[in-house]
A and B are shown apart, each in its own frame.
Chain A
Amino acid sequence: MAAGNARTLGKLVVATVAMFGFGFALVPFYYKICEVTGINAGAEQSLAKNTQVDASRWVTLEFDANTNAALPWRFTPMQRSLKVHPGQLVQVEYEITNTSDHEIVGQAVPSYGPARAAAFFRKIECFCFTPQTLAAGESRRMPVMFVLDPAMDRDVHTVTLSYTFFDAGAEGASPKGRGRG
């Protein structure tokens, strides 16, 4: 019996040592599994995920562009409408062309429909922040970057962003829009 006991002891000690090693073997095994399945990949993790996005609803954005009758410019949005989630970072582009034969400084003024959406329209970058100078016949594409605040009322399903360009040199042109720029 003593010999049998010693043999069993030997096997169990080997099993114990092997399982201690297995604990450490789990380390490369873990990284291999993550690599093969693509979980925990560094590139994906480095993309800071915006947790503020309200993915539960869509808002349709409509883009409108006008010029004051006294300003000889052509002003068009590169897209007419877009569906976005509130909280999502959006970038759109507009194009302006000076159709006159001289240099003109213009300034865009935004307005929003419905008006109560204005307070939730957070612009990060906009051509309306500064006066725009266009040489005769020059054409330019300009971006607007913004986020719709997720706190916006849930019953607002469509927001229209409308810009009107005024001649900044002319009297009555406003340097700043009402949308806090």
Chain B
Amino acid sequence: MSDAAHAHEAHGHHAQPTGIMRWLTTTNHKDIGTLYLFFSLIMLFAAGSMALMIRAELFQPGMQLTHPDFFNQLTTMHGLIMIFGVIMPAFSGFANWQVPLMLGAPDMAFPRMNNWAFWILPVAGILLMVSFLLPGGAVAGGWTMYPPLFIQGGISYDLTILAVHIMGLSSIMGSINIITTILNMRAPGLTLMKMPLFCWTWLITAYLLIATMPVLAGAVTMLLTDRNFGTHFFNAAGGGDPVMFQHIFWFFAHPEVYILILPAFGIVSQIIPTFARKPLFGYASMVYATASIAILSFIVWAHHMFTVGMPVAGQLFFMFSTMLIAVPTGVKVFNWVATMWRGSLTFETPMLFAIAFVCLFTIGGFSGLVLAIAPVDIQLHDTYYVVAHFHYVLVSGALFSIFAGIYYWLPKWTGHMYDETLGKWHFWLSVIGMNIVFFPMHFLGLAGMPRRIPDYALQFTEFNQIATVGAFIFGFSQLIFLAVVLKAIRGGARASARVWEGAEGLEWTVPSPAPYHTFEVAPVLK
């Protein structure tokens, strides 16, 4: 943004603080979106480094680099930070930037709450990272926080519970903002069923967050009181039941996995029509499929617990309800493919990531169906097959959609085209590296290698070495991504207002870079 534009804006509004205070006090949805995205990027490198330490240890059987307890801290913190510190803030960043632009709204509904929602996040991030330095180290009981381990740990367990509370509060405030903005602040004539699909998926995601985050807050509050205030919710010695924690936790955490993927569906549903130069196939069915996935996500939680002990009738119910989710998900994949069918396709970096998303997310979906089968799950539970499954869904699903969205909207945000050559390098190294890491894990899991263990039997060595090589390719190729982003912020070819030939929607009617204040007068829809 040029200084002249700044000076011009400052006339009609309160004087802008500069420097750090500008960012601390900002209530502008674009600033807050940027903050979310940078926070997410920093956390991506933090949690990614933990993943590389894990893979380095697993390069050979036996203990090489880490102490087993530190290894457990790495797996736990990698999971917690990637979910709560990377994927969720990145989607919040997209929502902050794009929802007002797509709806023709001047800002989010509650700008001050928006500022709070972001600025408590770094506090949670610091609490998590600091716990590595405390006596006993960071939490090592797994990101699922199961008792009894989570009741028995040291001070860092309390800090983590507090961090989860804060991150939950942040996403609830963000969700309230998004729902209110979408319901009340659309441009005149923009009905709900004319909204861009990204807004629809975020609206449904925000409702999921409102419904489940408080349940997680309740569960970790019970952990906290069990630890410090003498209650016995989950302590069997006091008449509690640790299995109950798993039910409450997964009642939150299964909708949570859709919270991590529905905005990804939205981003991909914006990108594929742009580069296929065709409207999205089956818009209404996309909306209904998203809503069905969200509703079904509340009745499938116990498929994470088939080995815990459950009557056969319960296993059958959760097995079939889980498989039912494949139907709306299949509708979505079909619609994306049908959108590309006979389109005038071009393959810029956002489209490459979106196509990789459709292919690789589907692999993750299918391995999920395998795991949904109760008798198979009992064999595969807590093996590397599960690790392969959820990394296909979260890396080539959620993370790739984030990359796709960044490349897609970066010209609109910065006013500069990103470096397409570097972008393609980033894409190909990521997609190849990602498959080298996670595909062999299917075989390791089927052969019985358990997850969350720093050592393994000799026969697993080769596949683990392949996975580690892939992890380092994938990990270091993210430095290219960092370079692309920084380069586009500093300069590059001027981006036009529409940026992409096939782009449709209100966000492409404002100049690039998007001015600090947009749609102060609601646009008129044709």
Contacts and interface: CB of A to CB of B under 8 A. Distances in A.
B311 A27 contact: no
B204 interface: no
B214 to A, nearest CB: 4
B215 A20 contact: yes
A26 B183 CA distance: 31
Contacts of A40: 241, 243
Interface residues of A, number: 24
Interface in B164-218: 172, 175-176, 179-180, 183-185, 210-218
B212 A1 contact: no
B368 to A, nearest CB: 25
Contacts of A4: 184
B23 interface: no
Nearest to B220: A23
Contacts, number: 75
B240 to A, nearest CB: 9
Given A19-B211, A30-B247, A8 B180 contact: yes
B109 to A, nearest CB: 5
A9 interface: yes
A119 interface: no
A119 B370 CA distance: 45
B244 A27 contact: yes
Interface string B223-236: 00000000001000
Contact of A8 (B172, B183, B218, B247): B183
B439 to A, nearest CB: 36
B180 A5 contact: yes
Contacts of B184: 1, 4-5, 8
B214 A16 contact: yes
Contacts of B413: none
Contacts of A136: none
B210 A19 contact: yes
A9 B180 contact: yes
Contacts of A20: 214-215, 217-218
Nearest to B183: A8
A13 interface: yes
A177 B3 CA distance: 103
Interface size class of B (residues with CB under 8 A): 20 to 34
A39 interface: yes
Contacts of B311: 37, 39
A20 B165 CA distance: 12
Contact of A19 (B214, B241, B244): B214
B469 interface: no
Nearest to B175: A12
B110 interface: yes
Contacts of A16: 172, 176, 210, 213-214
A176 to B, nearest CB: 46
B219 interface: yes
A1 B185 contact: yes
A17 interface: yes
B212, B218, B243, B251, most chain A CB atoms within 10 A: B218
A15 B110 CA distance: 18
Contacts of A27: 222, 233, 244, 248
A30 B244 CA distance: 7
A100 B398 CA distance: 90
Contacts of A18: 214
A23 to B, nearest CB: 3
A114 to B, nearest CB: 37
Given A1-B184, A30-B244, A15 B210 contact: yes
Nearest to A33: B247
Contacts of B247: 26, 30
Given A5-B109, A9-B110, A17 B176 contact: no
B215 A19 contact: yes
A159 B477 CA distance: 68
| CB-CB nearest 9 A-B residue pairs | A23-B218, A20-B214, A19-B214, A23-B215, A8-B180, A12-B176, A5-B109, A4-B184, A30-B244
Given A9-B180, A26-B244, 11 more contacts: A1-B184, A5-B109, A8-B109, A17-B214, A19-B212, A22-B218, A26-B215, A27-B222, A27-B248, A30-B248, A40-B241
